[in-house]
Amino acid sequence: MTDDKRSPEDIDPDLVEVAREIFDAARRGEANMLAAVIEKGAPPNLRNEKGDSLVMLAAYHGHTDAVRVLLERGADPNLRNDNGQTPLAGAAFKGFKDVVQTLLAHGADVEGASPDGRTALMIAAMFNRTEMVELLLAHGANPDARDANGVSAADAASRMGAPETAALLAKKAGA
């Protein structure tokens, strides 16, 4: 049996440059370029050295059209990076409502939690993103869910000094 792990020196520099350009296109939201490279054979779930997928990068940077293009071409909306974070959590953290709606419409798991048990709802609540909390709740996010430390979204919001989301979630909890 052979080890197919390659050292960086063994990888074709032209291939590395092409991959870098594809990841940069996702960060910049270049939907047409992403569509073209996928149609020419680039994997829609291509990931960088941190495990960030093209969808993760486009979502985190707020590029709804790029996210949609990638998802329509087979990208996984639930693919986690090496830290266990989802595109949905990244977009919720940043407050990109249209991106979150697009991810949810394409099957993102509203309850998908990171290894520490934090959901997109908890992340949005911590940063006082009331509109995002309402959107996630409307899509079935559980306000009573707790992370690995037993902290709910309302608890996390209170601890982070996010009074509006803490109050909103306190009303929804146990309902």
Domains delineated in the chain: 11-84 (1.25.40.20), 110-174 (1.25.40.20)
Q: Tens digit of pLDDT for each residue in 20-37?
A: 999 999 999 999 999 999
Q: Which amino acid, one-letter code, is at 114?
A: S
pLDDT at residue 1, rounded to an integer: 39
Model confidence pTM above 0.75: yes
Q: What tokens appear for 153 in the block?
A: 């979204």
Distance (Å, whole) CA 74 – CA 76: 6
Mean pLDDT score, 111-136: 96
